[in-house]
């Protein structure tokens, strides 16, 4: 059998075609995982499809008739009802970095980042200085950075404290950290309307939870009224954390995915306090 150039080109086209389809599915599944609202929409669609199959199997005529209308007009209803969420998802897809996080931190860099943040948080909670510190991970926060005050400075606890000091004009917004550098300050984030959030909590907590619902960022909040520390992550708000809780969560969440097993084996022999003390 003679293989012609046309046959080779056909195979290449099929490979490219299949690769593009899998790439699209990869980005869809990745964003479903990172976006709480998108996950709810997908779960609803799956439920409708399963219900349709069950109604057909059990010959439930009325239910099947109603589901046919839902399936027929559902896409239009979803676009109308979830217009803000869909716009956010499309913006997120546009911002999303193809190769993952802004910078993969080494073990030493990760320890330095955690050490500086924890030191700043410790001071601010004692002095009742409100703060919103956001750490970018796989989902790019470029859209929020563009609208904030650019800094591009090395991460230090003194700089974080200075930014959130009440006399600083940037203290009301959030700080975004990329890798081991402070990228910007005064950033404004979407606020959450989740009923799970305590109504007594302020704008910082709502902004932290809102951002965590749309991205995979780590959002750390220091309450100006109580000095209590909270972390919003993956659409959930963890309240009243101790410094040890904050330190351990940051160390764990900042581990590069591909090096998770390596880091666990490497750090099994080192107590968390020893990791923290190493930078002192």
**Using CA atoms, how far apart are residues 3 and 100, in angstroms rounded to an integer?**
39
What CATH topology corresponds to 107-277?
Answer: YojJ-like (1 (3.40.1700)
Encode pLDDT of 19-60 as tens digits: 888 887 777 676 666 566 667 777 777 888 888 888 888 888
Phi first, then psi: what are they for 263, rounded to 5°?
-65, -40
Give the model's confidence band at 276: pLDDT under 50 very low, under 70 low, under 90 confident, else very high.
very low
What is the helix (H) or strand (E) element at residue 61, kind and residue range? helix 61-81
**Using CA atoms, how far apart are residues 181 and 279, in angstroms rounded to an integer?**
17
**Using CA atoms, how far apart are residues 201 and 194, in angstroms rounded to an integer?**
12
> Domain locations in the chain?
5-95, 107-277
The candidate with the shortest Cα–Cα distance to 163, out of 199, 215, 205, 116, is: 116
Position 270 pLDDT exceeds 80:
no
The CB density around residue 248, as the number of other CB atoms within 10 Å, is 16
Looking at residue 181, its pLDDT comes to 92
Position 4 pLDDT exceeds 90:
no
The residue with greater pLDDT, 212 or 89, is 212
Strands 218-222 and 131-135: antiparallel
The candidate with the shortest Cα–Cα distance to 149, out of 129, 168, 165, is: 168
pTM across the whole model: 0.63
Rounded to 5°, the CA angle 15-21-26 comes to: 120
Position 79 pLDDT exceeds 70:
yes
Q: How confident is the model over 247-254, as a mean pLDDT?
A: 92
Q: How confident is the model over 160-164, as a mean pLDDT?
A: 95
**Using CA atoms, how far apart are residues 63 and 49, in angstroms rounded to an integer?**
12
**Using CA atoms, how far apart are residues 261 and 113, in angstroms rounded to an integer?**
21
Looking at residue 111, its pLDDT comes to 92
Q: Which of 15-19, 54-58, 69-73, 115-119 has the highest mean pLDDT?
A: 115-119
Give the model's confidence band at 275: pLDDT under 50 very low, under 70 low, under 90 confident, else very high.
very low
Q: Which of 90-99, 196-205, 243-252, 256-265 has the highest mean pLDDT?
A: 243-252
Rg (CA), the chain: 23
Q: Do the beta carbons of residue 143 and residue 95 sit within 8 Å?
A: yes
Q: Do the beta carbons of residue 243 and residue 250 sit within 8 Å?
A: no
Q: Token pair for residue 22?
A: 């899998």
**Using CA atoms, how far apart are residues 208 and 230, in angstroms rounded to an integer?**
9
Give the model's confidence band at 278: pLDDT under 50 very low, under 70 low, under 90 confident, else very high.
very low
The residue with greater pLDDT, 42 or 1, is 42
Position 231 pLDDT exceeds 50:
yes
Give the model's confidence band at 67: pLDDT under 50 very low, under 70 low, under 90 confident, else very high.
confident
Looking at residue 112, its pLDDT comes to 94
Residue with tokens 């900042």: 254
Position 187 pLDDT exceeds 80:
yes
Residues facing 154 on adjacent strands? 181
Looking at residue 84, its pLDDT comes to 65
Residue with tokens 């779960």: 43
């Amino acid at each position: 059998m003679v293989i012609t150039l046309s046959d080779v080109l056909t195979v290449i086209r099929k490979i490219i075609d299949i690769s593009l389809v899998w790439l699209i599915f990869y980005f869809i599944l990745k964003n479903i995982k990172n976006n709480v609202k998108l996950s709810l929409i997908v779960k609803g669609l799956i439920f409708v499809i399963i219900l349709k199959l069950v109604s057909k199997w059990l010959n439930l005529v009325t239910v099947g008739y109603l589901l046919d209308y839902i399936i027929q007009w559902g896409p239009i209803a979803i676009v109308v009802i979830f217009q803000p969420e869909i716009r956010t998802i499309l913006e997120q897809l546009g911002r999303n970095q193809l190769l993952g996080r802004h910078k993969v931190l080494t073990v030493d860099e990760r320890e330095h980042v955690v050490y500086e943040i924890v030191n700043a948080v410790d001071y601010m909670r004692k002095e009742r200085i409100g703060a919103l510190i956001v750490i970018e991970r796989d989902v790019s926060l470029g859209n929020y950075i563009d609208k904030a005050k650019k800094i591009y400075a090395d991460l230090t606890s003194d700089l974080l404290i200075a930014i959130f000091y009440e006399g600083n004009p940037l203290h009301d917004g959030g700080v975004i950290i990329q890798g081991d550098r402070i990228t910007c300050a005064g950033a404004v984030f979407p606020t959450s309307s989740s009923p799970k959030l305590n109504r007594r909590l302020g704008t910082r907590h709502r902004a932290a939870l809102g951002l965590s619902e749309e991205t995979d960022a780590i959002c750390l909040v220091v309450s100006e009224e109580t000095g209590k520390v909270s972390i919003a992550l993956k659409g959930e708000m963890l309240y009243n954390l101790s410094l040890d809780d904050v330190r351990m969560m940051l160390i764990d969440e900042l581990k590069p995915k591909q090096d998770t097993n390596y880091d666990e084996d490497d750090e099994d022999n080192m107590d968390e306090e020893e990791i923290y003390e190493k930078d002192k």
